[in-house]
Amino acid sequence: MDAAPVMIWVSGVDKLCTWFNKPWLDFTGRSLQQELGNGWAEGVHPIDLRRCLDIYIKQFDARERFRMQYRLRRHDGTYCWIDDIGVPRHARDGTFLGYWGSCTDVDEAAARLEGKIAVPRRTEGDAKSSSQLAVLIDSIQDYAIYMIDQQGRVMSWNRGAARIKGYSAEEIVGQDFSVFYTEADRQKGLPMQELGRALAEGRYEAELWQRRNDGTEFLASTLINAIYDNDGNHIGFAMVTRDVTEKPHT
């Protein structure tokens, strides 16, 4: 597990962590002894800590798999978004042994994504235009404009998205975009089906009911565009959503 490309942790039946692999320790810059037990929690951003522990304890008690995102302090003091997946461990006779988890640095993935789509031989005028475009997109209030990666994780978030969907950028970046969809649509597999259509056709348009952060629903007119880098490799999707709830629900 020390050779794995992801950060890995292991916990016992008492919910306390008993081991971390080398990539985790390299990321945090801390020793194994410092991270053991609840020591790892010292590196979680104070704003995310309560939510992080609540999810961990609830799913641990239910013996269920979980996935959560939180900010973890890197060895240089920078907080980076981590995508953490926890899975119950069992002995061959079914005895519960605790959990093990695998963590991915979402910020690093985003940096690689940005590197792939960077325009070669960019001039000072290009950079200025790109900066102005970013400011313009962020200022748009009537449309939710955001980007997701190939796995459906939100990578960017404008002010219109915050207004329409009720999530701040801090709350939603790194999260799976399927959280916007109703439970009925998720059961049908619609979020991933939409991405499949967009990937096959280049773009996809639909009107579906989506969920806001407060649980209310709205009719969303959504345009999905597949995004490719300069070498033609697929790297994600651009999403544009508008609230058209005033239209009749059919």
Residue 83 belongs to a domain: yes
User: Distance between CA atoms of 192 and 186, rounded to whole angstroms?
Assistant: 9
User: Distance between CA atoms of 82 and 7, rounded to whole angstroms?
Assistant: 10
Residue that finishes a domain, picked among 108, 131, 153: 108
Same domain for 74 and 184, yes or no, is: no
Residue that finishes a domain, picked among 108, 135, 169: 108
Say which CATH number the domain at 151 has: 3.30.450.20
In this prediction, residue 247 carries a pLDDT of 55
- Which residues are paired to 242 by β-bridges? 221
Q: How far is CA 94 from CA 86, 91, 175, in A?
A: 18, 5, 32
User: Distance between CA atoms of 199 and 102, rounded to whole angstroms?
Assistant: 28
Contacts of 156 (CB under 8 A, 6+ apart): 146, 147, 173
Same domain for 123 and 158, yes or no, is: yes
Residue 250 belongs to a domain: no
Residue that finishes a domain, picked among 72, 90, 108: 108
Same domain for 50 and 78, yes or no, is: yes
Residue 249 belongs to a domain: no
Tally of domains within the chain: 2
Same domain for 124 and 223, yes or no, is: yes
In this prediction, residue 118 carries a pLDDT of 40
Residue 209 belongs to a domain: yes
The residue range of the domain holding 18 is 7-108
In this prediction, residue 121 carries a pLDDT of 42
Same domain for 28 and 68, yes or no, is: yes
Residue 230 belongs to a domain: yes
Same domain for 90 and 151, yes or no, is: no
- Taking the CA atoms of the chain, what radius of gyration do you get in angstroms? 20
pLDDT tens digits in sequence order for the chain, 250 residues long: 787 778 999 999 999 999 999 999 999 999 999 999 999 999 999 888 888 899 999 999 999 998 888 889 999 998 888 888 899 999 889 899 999 998 888 766 555 444 443 433 444 444 444 455 555 566 677 888 898 988 888 988 888 899 999 999 888 998 888 889 888 887 777 777 788 888 777 778 888 889 999 999 999 988 888 887 766 778 888 888 889 887 544 4
In this prediction, residue 236 carries a pLDDT of 86
Residue 127 belongs to a domain: yes
Same domain for 170 and 53, yes or no, is: no
Instruction: Kindly report the pTM of this predicted structure.
Output: 0.47
In this prediction, residue 125 carries a pLDDT of 47
Residue 152 belongs to a domain: yes
Same domain for 156 and 185, yes or no, is: yes
Closest to 222 (Cα-Cα) out of 189, 188, 177, 183: 177
Same domain for 121 and 168, yes or no, is: yes
Same domain for 76 and 138, yes or no, is: no
